[in-house]
Amino acid sequence: MRPEGRRRRASRSEAGPTGRATDAAAEFHSTLASEAAFRVWYEEALPRVYGYLFERTGRVRSVAEELTQETFVDLVRSAGRFDGRSDPMTWAIAIARHKLADHFRRLAREERRRLSLVRDAVGASDDAWSASERRGEVLHALASVPALQRAALILHYMDDLTVAEVAAALGRSASAIESLLARGRDGLRGAISALDEGTDDD
């Protein structure tokens, strides 16, 4: 065998998985660059990504649709990071998995903020389970609290703003916000007590 033949064969062998990954990445980048080719791939990928998210979000269509849209937007934006070591569908599902994790982290943060408000409204002695059970009552009772007090409570507890940040948002002093929060908590407790009394009467 001539030396150049051996060199060509060695070159192909050395490329191995890395070369195949590079080829796969180039092929997918070419797909993304072609509107027609991407549409074909997207129509195949869409039901799989949506189905993955739909089953894992409690079969809530609106949430699954939103996360699916975020997945494909992120996929296109980060296309340069696709290296071909997995197939494009696996990569799309991996992005969807990250979006799902972000979604649940957001829910957990919102839950903690709401529970913080509930605990302050119903008393620090209530444990997290009891507070969670009473969350609906507290959120309903918020409607009876005067607007500025309600705004301060929502911004501080649900949006996790500091007193200074709430003051800046509402155009009030920090001491005024402290007063609004105190009166708002008192108002919430009164509204919840009234709800409890109404339930007892029933």
Its domain, for residue 30, covers 3-107
User: What are the CB-based long-range contacts (under 8 Å, 24+) for 191-197?
Assistant: 191/141, 191/144, 191/145, 192/121, 192/122, 192/134, 192/137, 192/138, 192/141, 195/137, 195/140, 195/141
CATH assignment at residue 130: 1.10.10.10
Residues 132, 86 share a domain: no
Identify residue 58 by its one-letter amino acid code: G
Residues 94, 14 share a domain: yes
Looking at the structure of the chain, the number of domains it has is: 2
In order along its 202 residues, the chain shows pLDDT tens digits of 455 554 444 444 444 557 776 787 788 888 888 999 999 999 999 999 999 999 998 899 999 999 999 999 999 999 888 888 889 999 999 999 999 999 988 887 877 777 777 777 666 554 554 565 667 777 778 888 898 898 898 888 877 889 999 999 999 999 999 999 999 999 888 888 887 676 555 5
CATH assignment at residue 82: 1.10.1740.10
Residues 21, 65 share a domain: yes
C-alpha triplet 158, 162, 164: angle, nearest 5°:
135
Residues 193, 158 share a domain: yes
Residues 183, 171 share a domain: yes
Task: Tell which of 81, 107, 133 closes a domain.
Answer: 107
Give pTM, 2 decimals. Answer: 0.60
Residues 90, 20 share a domain: yes
